[in-house]
Structure 1
Amino acid sequence: MLNSSSAIPVYVDSCDPVGDNREGSLRSVEAGNMAWRGCFLRWTKGDILISTTRGNRSPLGYQQRCGFRKALKKTEAKKEGVEDVGLKQLVKPLVFTVGFTGCSFGTAAIWQYESLKWRVQSYVDETRAEWLGKLHPQTQDDDQKQNEDDTVYWHRWWNRLSDFQKQAIAILFQVNQWWDNLTQGQRTVSGIIAVNALVFCCWRIPSLQRTMIKYFTSDPASKALCFPMILSTFSHYSLLHMGANMYVLWSFSSSIVSLLGPEQFMAVYMSAGVISTLVSYVSKTATGRLGPSLGASGAIMAVLAAVCTKMPEAKLGIIFLPMLTFSAGNALKAIIAMDTAGLVFGWRIFDHAAHLGGALFGVWYIAYGHKLIWKNREPLVKMWHDLRTKGPGGGGAL
């Protein structure tokens, strides 16, 4: 088990005494005293924010939603109402989870419809162009002349570029080749990885620290309860934390997207992140072990559980111990057993409730949820199709 720890820097509002030493007037002395009193009051009200992060990984390399503790003054704890957190405060997150999950799958169904419509339209356009080409075929001389003209044009265009522009185009060409060689699953999760990297960089901006802690960490004792349920899924403070999570997501991306398709995968991933956070909320509130969490492990556990449930005989291994292999089904059982034990015995190493929430949602979705949700999307798609075809520029039926 690998442990890593880091600390968020302490930021204190500067409270320099105000006065003009050169004049030495009584008014400047009084202003300086008022400034020091204001600084002292802000100190006692907990204006200093000290936060520490702890990122840990499970034996298979799946880092949990790392514990993110805030050491606040008792006066601020009472002000925030930390001691009065109860299950009734989870009604709003519960409603948000149901609504967000429904919107995720509804958006995925419409996205799939639009993608299919675009592919069909592209095929029709290509077929029409090919048919017109057969009706009005060009002679071989015309084709050769056209190719020569194109070659001359692009040769002149290339010669007008500077060396820097040529190098930039060469790099873009290599990136395009790399992108074309990726699987559909790897292309799908590339956007998720990019967002996680962007949020990771935002954690390094001192002026954003308070905003990041408020909205990019999930804590049932916080005033912001709903939006952090989504944003914390894309939030990592530790590079090791983010690297481990994104490596696992990249490794299982091809399997999960081949199984569900890119649209359904995104709906499952986003929903799993919110559902795992809700389970974490319930566990923290019930046990009284409050504290912020962040990370994509809840959603990634759903992906892992879905693949292992669908393909239990698949062989998995540990990157640092390639000689050890085990079935996907046994790996899933071991992970669920470990997180269950951690939840029962109150281990603080992982956010075990978030892990269990994500894993159980992934198992449930493959076993029952796919039939209950995705296979019953036809009424919504039909309604969207009617809106598209009757609206301006709607076009014909798919």
Structure 2
Amino acid sequence: MLPYSKLSCLGRSRGLLKSPLQKQTSLRFFMRNKDINSSGKSKRLEIAPRVEPHGGMSDVSFKKLLKPLAFTVVFSAGSFAGCAIWQYENMLTRAQQFAQRSQDMYTDRFPRYKFSSLRQRVNRVWNSLSEGQKVTTAIIGINALVFLAWKIPRFQPAMAKWFCSNPASKAMCLPMVLSSFSHFSVWHLAANMYVLWTFSTTIVNILGKEQFLAMYLSAGVISSLASYLHKTAIVRPGLSLGASGAIMSVLGSVCTQIPQAQLAILFLPWFSFTASSGIKAVLALDTAGVMLGWRVFDHAAHLGGCLFGIWYVKYGSDLIWKRREPLMSQWHAFRQRPRS
């Protein structure tokens, strides 16, 4: 997740912010104006989307964070409940498919073949992916669609309002989720998705795709809440976006579960280190960033996501996921209820 000081996108807006505080805490957009100035060169204007008047020091207070805190609890609980129901439905579907295949073995004497088609080739590639790769592919697809939406000028004011988290904004809750699927540059998107693709298969093999998705969504909101708390504490509001807070939970959970795994940096393949050492270095770096006020990344969001991932694989899975049986029983009873 990147802070507002690092955000620069191509965009268009109708109004300019005149207040220094508004300039400081608004997302910076740059557009190439069609008008030509006296020197014959295109104008390059620094402008901000007209979202709402926010960004002043008085707009940031811990009292204002009660609503995001409640939203984090409700959304996380809903994510785990929804993914538990999804797991129930997947198990039921697999059971029905197994029964159908067993029946077809006795009723169909001759197998039915279909001619090759684009759809079959796509299905063949999709079926060759692991469960973790399938879930990650869906997440990457959503992130790519949101990234493309940033490139449409008419969408940018709405994107700045709903797909960037900011404790000084009137819209505080929903952006906590949406900002974790939002990226401002292709390099930002590519780096985050590469890390997610690298570690997702391992954690899905450990947790299962449903539990992984619940943890990932919850981590996105929790990392945004950590960012809100830090910005409020230092009285420095601003926009942040990116999936790195949620991805840090994946990194933290994998390194905690497999501490002796050997990792390497993409551009330094000859330099390897254990997962335990790597996650300690990441925690130290983000802690230093929070304490020293570094503004390269949103270090508070990274730290919040990573700590949540570590906590979840150590304690959270036992406290939350393994106690889902009452919910499953209620859902089963609901599905069996006769329809009028």
Distance change >3 Å, CA 201–CA 266, structure 1 → 2:
same
Taking the TM superposition and a 5 Å limit, the aligned residue runs for 1:339-350 are: 339-350=286-297
Matched, 1:207 2:154: yes
Q: 2: distance between equivalents of 1:349 and 1:373?
A: 34
Aligned residues between the structures? 314
Distance change >3 Å, CA 252–CA 81, structure 1 → 2:
closer
Cα deviation digits, residues 44-71 of structure 1 (max 9, x gap) = 777x987338xxxxxxxxxxxxxxxx98
Give the letter for the 2:28 counterpart: T
Matched, 1:119 2:94: yes
Matched, 1:355 2:302: yes
**2:27 is paired with a residue of what secondary structure?**
strand
**Partner in structure 2 of residue 281 of structure 1:** 228
CA contact (8 A) 2:11 2:151 kept: no
User: Mind listing any 5+ residue stretches in structure 1 that lack a counterpart?
Assistant: 14-41, 54-69, 159-168, 394-398
Distance change >3 Å, CA 132–CA 313, structure 1 → 2:
same
- How far apart are 1:322 and its partner, in Å? 1.1
Q: 1: distance between equivalents of 2:7 and 2:62?
A: 32
Give the letter for the 1:51 counterpart: L
> TM-score with structure 2 length normalisation?
0.85
Give the letter for the 1:90 counterpart: L
**1:249 is paired with a residue of what secondary structure?**
helix
Give the letter for the 1:100 counterpart: F
**1:334 is paired with a residue of what secondary structure?**
helix
CA contact (8 A) 2:8 2:184 kept: no
Taking the TM superposition and a 5 Å limit, the aligned residue runs for 1:379-398 are: 379-392=326-339
Distance change >3 Å, CA 361–CA 118, structure 1 → 2:
same
Distance change >3 Å, CA 12–CA 341, structure 1 → 2:
closer
Matched, 1:301 2:248: yes
Among residues 243, 266, 269, which one is paired with 2:190 in the alignment? 243
User: Mind listing any 5+ residue stretches in structure 2 that lack a counterpart?
Assistant: 30-45
Give the letter for the 1:280 counterpart: S
Distance change >3 Å, CA 12–CA 52, structure 1 → 2:
closer
Q: 2: distance between equivalents of 1:242 and 1:132?
A: 50
Matched, 1:271 2:271: no
Q: 1: distance between equivalents of 2:17 and 2:274?
A: 56
Give the letter for the 2:127 counterpart: D
Distance change >3 Å, CA 349–CA 193, structure 1 → 2:
same
**Partner in structure 1 of residue 140 of structure 2:** 193
Cα deviation digits, residues 331-358 of structure 1 (max 9, x gap) = 0000000000111111111111000000
Among residues 209, 217, 221, which one is paired with 2:164 in the alignment? 217
Q: 2: distance between equivalents of 1:346 and 1:195?
A: 32
Matched, 1:96 2:50: no
- How far apart are 1:5 and its partner, in Å? 6.2
Give the letter for the 1:102 counterpart: A
Q: 2: distance between equivalents of 1:345 and 1:335?
A: 15
**2:296 is paired with a residue of what secondary structure?**
coil
Matched, 1:130 2:130: no
Cα deviation digits, residues 50-97 of structure 1 (max 9, x gap) = 7338xxxxxxxxxxxxxxxx9879xx99x5362211000000000000
**Partner in structure 1 of residue 277 of structure 2:** 330
Q: 2: distance between equivalents of 1:382 and 1:122?
A: 22
4+ aligned runs moved over 6 Å, structure 1:
70-73
Among residues 227, 232, 254, which one is paired with 2:201 in the alignment? 254
Among residues 109, 128, 132, which one is paired with 2:84 in the alignment? 109
Distance change >3 Å, CA 246–CA 128, structure 1 → 2:
same
Among residues 308, 313, 318, which one is paired with 1:366 in the alignment? 313
Structure ID, larger Rg: 1
Q: 2: distance between equivalents of 1:334 and 1:239?
A: 26
